[in-house]
């Protein structure tokens, strides 16, 4: 289907106002590697959506005003729906951090741990190259770089595990809540202007008992599966602020590329992903075509690698998505032991944050981003965001906390608020 002519923003506003369940995969801030096409989809009342609660271990199927439990594994139920439907079916949604019941993670206490939708209406829009690319803006409004006591305590416990050899790297995060009466569609339009990104998008699932809104401005690819059975992921590890002048900006870019700590973090996650892919890919097909390339965004430079392979004939697309889940860049290495450490030190569930958001198709293709630089709400007047970063034995609590605030600051400008401290509320 070719892209249509028209204003995707106006179409989005109309669809979000008229349909309780809809999704916008927003190509306005895309890169050449992620494509420059938007997809806007919406569901009629008899169309199907799925939600998952890790607390009850129930997948619920919603259609025609009815909701029924249909399983206990969102990966398996979604795979069954794909197999039972048309070969042209596409499903859109997210898998939250706790979507795999066999891995340690706190169930979400806000939005569902997974939401997937099969819209019967889809419109495509093509964007001009460069459209939606934000300029390098002034450095974030961060005052003070001393980590608060709660973050410092968690950081210290992580260091104990690292020095004991229980993990090589731990992605330590925290959640911040923002009370606001801004409606989700308007909040998303502000977000896309402030922080255009390759995996920008909006999901609305306004169903009683399973309410979820996800507002994404993520720069990170979780995985793309092509028609040729190739699979590619692009982990991000290593972030620094943009410079205030062209000379300073170039210097920061070069420093990021050469910084031993960031290179070590990135290499550990690349090795983890090579191992994850090797469990589902043909022998000898897993490679790293790009290692530690600097990508530049509106306020930060980031160190990005690319890991690629070819799926074995006996591995389904959802099987591969599950094998990689959650993204190694959002856990650390080794994955399962590090997730146990994360569960020990983090005070709040991650919810949709650190999961994956995008689409999967019955023909085997898929494209999902990592849920970072994103906002969620259950429609309760509170928006939530997660932020953090990778911790190694060489990390500094104050530096890591400051980095977490850089990452959150652009999202918080949606509400014209100052960055909160861990667990704090910003009105």
Point out the residues that are catalytic. 220, 237
Question: Any bridge partners for residue 41, and if so which?
Answer: 23, 122
Provide the 8-state DSSP code for 413.
G
Pairing of strands 287-296, 21-26: unpaired
**Distance between CA atoms of residues 345 and 395, nearest Å:** 16
Could you tell me which of 10, 210, 205, 217 has the C-alpha nearest to residue 91? 205
What is the per-residue burial (b if ≥16 Cβ within 10 Å, else e) of 368-399? bbbbbbbbbbbeeeebbbbbbbbbbeebebee
Provide the 8-state DSSP code for 406.
H
Provide the 8-state DSSP code for 311.
B
Burial class of residue 346 in the structure, from the number of CB atoms within 10 Å of its CB (0-12 exposed, 13-18 middle, 19+ buried): buried
Angle, vertex CA 406, rays to CA 402 and CA 409, nearest 5: 125
Could you tell me which of 6, 423, 390, 411 has the C-alpha nearest to residue 182? 411
Instruction: State both tokens at 403.
Output: 């980095």
Instruction: State both tokens at 135.
Output: 């300029």
CB contact set of 9 (below 8 Å; sequence gap of 6+): 189
**Distance between CA atoms of residues 358 and 218, nearest Å:** 11
H-helix segments, 19-169? 74-84, 149-163
Instruction: State both tokens at 41.
Output: 């989809």
CB contact set of 41 (below 8 Å; sequence gap of 6+): 22, 23, 24, 92, 117, 119, 121, 122, 123
DSSP states of 71-98: ES-HHHHHHHHHHHS-TT-EEEEEE-TT
Is 68 in contact with 61 (CB distance < 8 Å)? yes
Backbone angles phi, psi at 25, to 5 degrees: -90, 110
Is 207 in contact with 47 (CB distance < 8 Å)? no
CB contact set of 403 (below 8 Å; sequence gap of 6+): 239, 389
Tracing tokens 């977000």 back to the chain, one arrives at: 191
């Amino acid at each position: 289907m070719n892209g249509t002519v028209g204003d995707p923003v106006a179409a989005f506003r109309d669809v979000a106002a008229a349909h309780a369940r809809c999704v916008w995969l927003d190509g306005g801030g895309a890169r050449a590697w992620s494509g420059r096409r938007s997809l806007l989809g919406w569901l009629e009342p008899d169309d199907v959506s799925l939600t998952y609660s890790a607390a009850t271990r129930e997948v619920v199927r919603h259609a025609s005003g009815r909701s029924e439990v249909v399983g206990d594994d969102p990966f398996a139920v979604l795979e069954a729906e794909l197999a039972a439907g048309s070969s042209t079916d596409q499903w859109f949604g997210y898998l939250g951090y706790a979507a795999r019941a066999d891995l340690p993670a706190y169930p979400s206490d806000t939005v569902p741990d997974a939401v997937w939708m099969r819209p019967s209406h889809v419109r495509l829009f093509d964007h001009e190259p460069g459209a939606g690319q934000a300029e390098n803006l002034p450095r974030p409004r961060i005052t003070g770089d001393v980590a608060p006591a709660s973050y410092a305590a968690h950081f210290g416990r992580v260091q104990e595990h690292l020095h004991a050899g229980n993990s090589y790297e731990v992605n330590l995060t925290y959640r911040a809540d923002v009370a606001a009466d801004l409606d989700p569609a308007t909040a998303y339009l502000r977000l896309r202007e402030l922080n255009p990104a390759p995996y920008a998008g909006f999901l609305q699932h306004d169903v009683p008992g399973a309410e979820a809104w996800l507002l994404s401005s993520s720069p990170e690819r979780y995985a793309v599966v092509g028609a040729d059975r190739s699979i590619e992921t692009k982990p991000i590890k290593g972030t620094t602020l943009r410079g205030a002048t062209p000379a300073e900006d170039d210097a920061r870019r070069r420093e990021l590329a050469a910084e031993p700590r960031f290179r070590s973090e990135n290499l550990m996650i690349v090795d983890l992903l090579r191992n994850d892919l090797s469990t589902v890919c043909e022998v000898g097909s897993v490679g790293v075509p790009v290692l530690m390339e600097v990508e530049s965004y509106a306020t930060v430079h980031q160190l990005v690698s690319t890991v690629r392979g070819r799926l074995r004939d006996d591995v389904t697309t959802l099987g591969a998505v599950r094998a990689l889940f959650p993204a190694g860049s959002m856990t650390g290495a080794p994955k399962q032991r590090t997730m146990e450490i994360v569960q020990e030190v983090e005070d709040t569930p991650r919810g949709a944050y650190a999961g994956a958001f995008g689409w999967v198709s019955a023909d085997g293709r898929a494209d999902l981003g990592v849920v970072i630089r994103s906002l969620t709400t259950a429609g309760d007047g509170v928006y939530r965001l997660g932020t953090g970063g990778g911790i190694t034995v060489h990390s500094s609590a104050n530096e890591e906390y400051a980095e977490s605030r850089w990452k959150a600051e652009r999202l918080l400008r949606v509400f014209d608020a100052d960055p909160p401290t861990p667990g704090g509320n910003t009105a």
